[in-house]
Structures are given as structure tokens and as C-alpha cells.
């Protein structure tokens, strides 16, 4: 038999196999269900419907009137430099610093006193304004030695002044004008005290806001611990016009006491 000739039996077997495969395929297609359509999720979703815009409030046709405040003549918060309007009383180089605490002035207490022939040197002063005024400071000072005092001062001449501050006074005999650590409002004329000093007990650990108000010839001293509630301490009447106002730290009997001031403010009197 020729190698390229296929026997007749082989043809019949192959043809039968093809017929059978075709029948099976037809049956399979006839009984199959249609394939479901595959939906591909989009990579970018449609945005949600936007919310309706919020109605903007109507703006006033004119700005509101500013709140009226008392006119401030002067204020120094002691932020790194002294205002050029200050000057030193009786000394060109007193002990002071603005670097111990940010926003605070530290004054060393001098040994002088308006009660003596040697007035205090460590006063920071400026020209007193004409007419009525309110001056205020915030003082941090804990006196421990006799006669120390720091606070506000109104100067009339070399030996006459009003001084209101925290100080210390101790005597062997009990006296209403000498109560230890307290707030004292002195009127000193020609080196001599006039009237009482309105000694008011100070509380250990508390700092005080001090205020002196001039109303004509009357000067009223008040104190506060929160800047809202003020307590009147006392008043003095003086016919002479003031020359200088400012801060005092004086009457030291030992070395190195000091007082700290957070600010000084002067306003026109109400």
C-alpha cells in the first residue's frame, strides 16, 4: 500500500466522528441560556446632586457706631523700651530693668523718702496733665522690711507728694496707721504727713491694681484684685496743682528690695 493513500475504513470512521460532534454541539446550543451582560463599573462616579446654596445674611447698609471708650491720655505696657515721655526724679541712673520679665518694669527701691530731708530717687515720672485724671498701675510687690513702699505718686515739690502703694510698717505699739503689710495712702506736705494714711490690710500672695483719681482738689485712692471691682481706700484734698505723676519705689532700709509693674495708664477724669 502506498504510504500517501488512506484506507477507506479510516474515512468512514472520521466522517462518523464529525457527524456525532456536530450533533452534540447543536444540542448544547439549543439548551443553553443566554449569557447575562457584564456591566463594567466606571472609574469616575457621577457627582451627587449639589445642595441648594445657603442664603447669605444681609449686610447692614452702614457700619455700626463704635462703642464709646474713655480717652486714654497715655499708657505704657513696658514692652522692651520706656516711652520717651518718662523721666527719672533726682537721678540719672536709678536701678531699673525691663528684662527680668517680658512686659514688666522692675524698680529697685531707693533709700530716700518724702518724709525726710533726702527725697527718694527712684521715681519714674512724667508731667501731670491739666485737669482731672485717673492713673492706674498693676503692682507685684511683697514688702518685708519696715517702711518699704511701691506704687503711684503725685509730686507737688521736692518735699510734698501723694503716694499710694503697698508697703510695710511695724511698730512696738499697735497703731491703726501701721498694720504691717498693707496698702497706704500718704499725703506728705513739706516732709510732714497730713491727715491719715488709710492703712488697709494686704493679703499675702495677691497682686493689686492701684488707682488714684483727681477730681478738682480731691484725690481718691482705690484698689482692685481683678480690674473690675474697685474698693475705695481714702481721699486727700490739696489746693496746690500737681507737677509730676508716675511710679515710686522707695523708703528701703536694706539693700536689694524691688517692685514689679505690669503697666501704667493715665486717662482723662470722668
pLDDT of residue 122: 87
How far apart are the C-alpha atoms of 204 and 202, rounded to whole Å? Answer: 7
- The residue ranking higher by pLDDT, 252 or 24, is 252
Residue 174: C-alpha distances to residues 177, 192, 198 (Å): 9, 21, 15
pLDDT of residue 9: 47
- The residue ranking higher by pLDDT, 75 or 50, is 75
Sign of CA dihedral 230, 233, 239, 240: negative
Tell me, yes or no, if the pTM score tops 0.75.
Answer: no
Residues 6+ apart with CB under 8 A from 98: 78, 80, 81, 82, 104, 105, 106
pLDDT of residue 56: 36
Q: Are 135 and 211 a contacting pair, CB within 8 Å?
A: yes
Q: Within its chain, how far is the Cα of 115 from the centroid?
A: 37
pLDDT of residue 24: 38
- The residue ranking higher by pLDDT, 66 or 232, is 232
* Mean local confidence (pLDDT), 237-263: 95
Q: What is the pLDDT of residues 169-224, one digit of tens each?
A: 998 777 899 999 999 999 999 999 999 999 999 998 899 999 999 999 999 999 99
pLDDT of residue 71: 52
Q: What is the pLDDT of residues 71-85, one digit of tens each?
A: 568 999 999 999 999
**Lowest mean pLDDT segment, chosen from 58-67, 120-129, 198-207:** 58-67
Mean pLDDT of the chain: 80
Residue 91 has pLDDT above 70, yes or no: yes
Please give the domain boundaries of the chain with CATH numbers for all domains: 72-268 (2.60.120.200)
Amino acid at each position: 500500500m502506498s504510504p500517501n493513500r488512506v484506507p477507506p475504513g479510516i474515512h468512514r470512521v472520521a466522517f462518523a466522528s464529525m457527524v456525532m460532534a456536530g450533533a452534540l454541539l447543536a444540542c448544547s446550543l439549543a439548551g443553553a441560556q443566554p449569557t447575562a451582560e457584564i456591566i463594567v463599573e466606571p472609574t469616575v462616579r457621577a457627582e451627587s446632586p449639589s445642595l441648594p446654596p445657603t442664603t447669605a445674611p444681609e449686610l447692614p447698609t452702614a457700619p455700626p457706631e463704635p462703642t464709646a471708650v474713655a480717652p486714654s491720655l497715655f499708657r505704657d505696657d513696658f514692652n522692651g523700651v520706656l516711652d520717651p515721655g518718662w523721666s527719672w526724679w533726682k537721678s540719672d541712673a536709678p536701678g531699673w530693668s525691663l528684662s527680668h520679665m517680658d512686659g514688666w518694669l522692675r524698680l529697685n527701691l531707693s533709700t530716700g523718702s518724702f518724709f525726710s530731708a533726702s527725697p527718694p530717687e527712684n521715681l519714674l515720672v512724667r508731667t501731670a496733665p491739666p485737669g482731672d485724671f485717673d492713673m492706674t498701675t498693676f503692682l507685684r510687690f511683697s514688702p518685708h522690711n519696715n517702711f518699704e513702699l511701691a506704687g503711684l505718686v503725685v509730686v507737688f515739690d521736692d518735699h510734698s507728694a501723694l503716694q499710694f502703694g503697698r508697703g510695710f510698717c511695724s511698730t512696738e505699739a499697735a497703731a491703726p496707721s501701721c498694720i504691717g503689710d498693707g496698702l497706704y495712702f500718704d499725703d506728705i506736705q513739706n516732709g510732714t504727713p497730713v491727715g491719715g494714711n488709710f492703712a488697709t490690710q494686704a493679703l499675702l500672695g495677691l497682686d493689686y491694681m492701684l488707682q488714684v483719681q483727681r477730681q478738682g482738689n480731691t484725690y481718691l485712692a482705690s484698689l482692685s484684685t481683678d480690674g473690675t471691682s474697685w474698693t475705695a481706700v481714702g481721699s486727700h484734698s490739696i489746693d496746690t496743682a500737681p507737677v509730676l505723676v508716675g511710679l515710686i519705689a522707695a523708703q528701703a532700709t536694706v539693700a536689694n528690695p524691688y517692685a514689679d509693674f505690669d503697666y501704667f495708664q493715665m486717662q482723662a477724669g470722668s
